[in-house]
Amino acid sequence: MNPRNYRWLINLIAGAMMLAALAIPGAAVERPFKLQGTTLVLGNPFDAAGAPMLGTGEATHLGLWFNEGVIFFDGRSGPPFAATAMVHFTAANGDKVEFLLVGNLDLSGVATATYYIVGGTGRFAGASGTGDFTAQPNADGTLSYTAHGIINY
């Protein structure tokens, strides 16, 4: 049989294989995650609307970052007071990671929480992860904090 008769079949199979390879989603990889930074809370987190916050720092997979978010303390619950925050971290290249923090604030101003990564943009689209988060107040009114755990992306 003439080899030209099979050329269309070979092209069809090669095209189908390329489409199948593109259709397979990239599997998220679990990676260790460490973050440290400083944030300024701009308002009263005990207000029902919470308080905005802005910060900077450095983290694995993000490099230098800045963040913005909202933090809430529930004055009816404590002490210790229930604390919740939604924080948007922007990596050095502009990709974003979304964090949800859930924990407690003691009377000394120390917060302990669990972080949950709930998505992002760029290489962090669909990211997930969890870990430990701690924050301490500084004399200048800022909060210094660290996080240790995992990120999947």
Residue 58: pLDDT over 80: yes
pLDDT at 78: 80
Residue-by-residue DSSP string for the chain: --THHHHHHHHHHHHHHHHHHHHSPPPP-EEEEEEEEEEEE-S-TTSTT-EEEEEEEEETTTEEEEEEEEEEEETTS-SSEEEEEEEEEE-TTS-EEEEEEEEEE-TTS-EEEEEEEEEESGGGTT-BEEEEEEEEE-TTSEEEEEEEEEEE-
Nearest to 101 by CA among 83, 121, 120: 83
Taking the model in full, what pTM does it have? 0.80
What is the rounded distance in angstroms from the CA atom of residue 26 to the CA atom of residue 21?
Answer: 10
Least confident span in 61-65, 76-80, 85-89, 136-140: 76-80
Residue 16: pLDDT over 80: no
What is the rounded distance in angstroms from the CA atom of residue 83 to the CA atom of residue 135?
Answer: 11
Residue 1: pLDDT over 60: no
Segments making up each domain of the chain, as ranges: 28-152
The correct answer on CATH 2.40.350 for the domain covering 28-152 is yes
What is the rounded distance in angstroms from the CA atom of residue 113 to the CA atom of residue 9?
Answer: 58
Mean model confidence pLDDT for the chain: 88
Residues 59-68, buried b or exposed e (16+ Cβ, 10 A)? bebbeebbbe
CA distances from 59 to 32, 37, 44, 52, 76 (A): 11, 8, 27, 21, 34
CA 149 to chain centre: 11
